[in-house]
Each structure stands twice: as structure tokens, then as C-alpha cells.
Amino acid sequence: MNILSAIIVFENLHEVRRLCHWGPIIALTVIAVCSSMAILDSIIWYWPLDTTGGSINFIMLINWTVLILYNYFNAMFVGPGYIPLGWKPENQQDTMYLQFCRVCQGYKAPRSHHCRKCNRCVMKMDHHCPWINNCCGHLNHAYFTTFLLLAPLGCTHAAFIFIMTMYTQLYDRISFGWSSVKIDMSAARRIHHPIMPFSVASFAATLFALGLALGTTIAVGMLFFIQIKVIMRNKTSIEVWIEEKAKDRIQYYQTGEEFIFPYDLGSRWENFKQVFTWSGTPEGDGIEWPVNEKCHQHTLTIEQLKQKADKRVRSVQYRVVENYNGACCPLRKGFNTFLRTPCTEEPRIQLSKGETIFATRGTKWWMYGDKVLDEEQTKAAVRVRGWFPRRCVEKCLYDSANNTSASEEKKDK
């Protein structure tokens, strides 16, 4: 019903456009190819109307497909849940512990982050997933993780069907010689009589589907184990990163602090229940969360503010000395720059000579930073940040990154 309501209700009709993206197109194509080929091969290998085992095999195969699509579309159309535009905490004093989002014109609730793709602040954001063309967050985390579990299981079943079909159909057609193996694809079976012919085209299609199924099982299975690992600790992928940076900050400055992750309830089962419930709707409203007894609601947001301040201190000012058109893999910026382009969906930014950049991180060949904008753009909440080739900039002799006035201090969205 959630899927139908997302499609039929007029005000949610725009959500169907999420399908028009390379991620869902590829994901649904893989599901369609593996499912349809597994059904056809089941008819050839284990005709479901002849035996009880064949019927069970066929019903299980259909169930995998239905469950995978159900959780996939729910993860896509239910969405992660968004912080209301212009949101403020009930207690005005709490605003000092929160970051302000200039795009949403409101404060970021604990565990929320602004998604550049969705252009909204997302509740308990884990990541933006291109395969569902949506964020994975508070409301759809369970659907997304269940999809990651069911997809490898369904593909494993499909791969078994593909292997058994090729084995049973080719067993009597293979002749072994002293120096070669010959396969007669046109030879009639002497024992079994499949309801459908198994031709060269069928063999090629089955082999292709087998490759897709095995690849999906490995890739999606690894993603599932990553997700279930962070769920058992009641974290998100972003929060794992924040915790690591907290430890690095404390070690770098030798502050003697002890950072305790506030949302780990101390029990894997209790953490698990924060995401997975019988109703399918996760616990909580996406704004307030149960926390460790040694922490409070703003323990993590206070740490984030400290990290933002540290980031501004460590940022280095650069001046652009070479134009850059924002290409993902620029051909004219050197062979290593072309080959070592960052493998991320984060944007590249165009550069013009004379502009100023505050770089916050980078590699040997690329850097990531914020472009310094004029006063009007800053007031309009415009922000230009992303990757650019290191060879296009040079470090300013006088680094004013640490002398930036409070009004010009940047806050991440």
C-alpha cells in the first residue's frame, strides 16, 4: 500500500521521477534479468507442475522477486524523512548547540545532515544512495537494509538454478575426446524432455545472468554487512566518520577529553530495535533520540561544532593560478590528475585565475575546498565547494584562513 499511495496520490506523483536515473535503471534491470532468466530456467530444469520440489522452488523464486521489489520501492518512495523547513528546537537555548542550515533556513536536529542531492536536511542521514536515487535515513533504513539482505539471497537462489540448468542440459551433450571437449547444443536429450528448448541463445543468456547474480551477491552482500555492523552499534555511516574524527581531534590537541558515542544503548538488541520494528516504522520522531546515560541530546552536535571550528583553523588559503572547467577527468591537467580523479559523487568546481579557495582536505593530485564568494552570494546562502586539481592553485604567502571574521565563518550544510 505504501508503494501504491506514493504513485497514485497526486501530491506525491513527482516521486515517480526518481526512477528516471541511472541508479534505479541499472538496479531494476539487474533484478529483471536475473528474475526472468531464473523463471525460464526453472521451467527448463525443474518443471513446477511435476513435483512438489519443483513447485516449492518456483514459489520461492517468485517470493524473492516480490520481497526484493517491495523493499526496494519502499526504500525509494517512503524516503528517509526530512527535517521541516525552518525548524527550531522548542527550547531556544538549545540553538547554541545546533548547526544552522542556510538552505533550509532552519536548525539541524541531532543526527540530521543536509543532503546536497536531495537539497533538504535528512533525519538520521546514513548516505545518499544512487541505486535508489534517494537518501537512506530514519524512515527507510530498515527497508534499505532488508533489500540488501534479500537481494544476495535471491541472487544466490537464482545462481543455483542457472548452474543446475546448464549442468542438466549440457551433461548428455558433452563428448570428451583425447584433446578436446565438444558440446552439441542441438542434440536431443535421451532421458529428460524439457518443456522449453535449451538453445545456444539460452545458454548465453543463462551464463550472462549467472555473472550478474554472482556479482550482485558479492557486491550487495558486502554492503549489507557494512550496514548491519553500524546498525548494531546504533550508528550511521556518517556518525562512524564523526566518531573517528573526534578521536583524531582529541589525540591531535591532547585535550584529555573522552568522547562517548551518545546513541549506542549498550545492547545490540536494543540498538537493532531502534531500526527494525514489527510495524515497519522505526521508533522515534527523527528529532529526539534515546541516549546513553552518560550523554545528552546534544553530545554529538557539540562535537560536530568543535570539528567545524577545527576545520576552519586547519583550512589553508590558496589562490587560483590556472583555469579549470570542472571536468571530472580533465585531459589537460596532467596524466596523473586524469588517472587519480577522486572516486566520489562529490562535485568538481570551476576555477578562474585570481579566485581564492579555502582547502580543507586533499590528495597528492586533487584538493577539496570552498570558494570564497562575494558578499551578495554569501548573504544569499550560495556555497561553491568541491574537488579541483592541485596544480591549478598555489598556497597564499599570507594565509588568512585563521583570521576570518565571525560573519564570514562558513558552516557546512
- The rounded Cα 290 to chain-centroid distance in angstroms is 25
| Contact criterion met (CB below 8 Å) for 366 and 390 | yes
What is the b/e burial string over 74-100, where b = at least 16 CB atoms within 10 angstroms of the residue's CB? bbbbbbbbbbeeebebeeeebeebbbe
What is the b/e burial string over 3-18, where b = at least 16 CB atoms within 10 angstroms of the residue's CB? eeebeeeeeeeebeeb
308 CB-near residues (< 8 Å, 6+ apart):
99, 411, 412
Rounded CA separation 340/329 (Å):
9
**Which of 129, 135, 155, 392 is labelled catalytic?**
129
DSSP H or E run through 118: none
Would you tell me how many other CB atoms lie within 10 Å of the CB of residue 292? 15
Would you tell me how many other CB atoms lie within 10 Å of the CB of residue 276? 14
Give the closest residue to 98 by CA, choosing from 235, 287, 242. 287
The amino acid sitting at 215 is: G
Rounded CA separation 250/253 (Å):
5
Residue 129 annotated to the active site: yes
Would you tell me how many other CB atoms lie within 10 Å of the CB of residue 382? 13
DSSP 3-state of 115: strand
Which active-site residues does the annotation give? 129
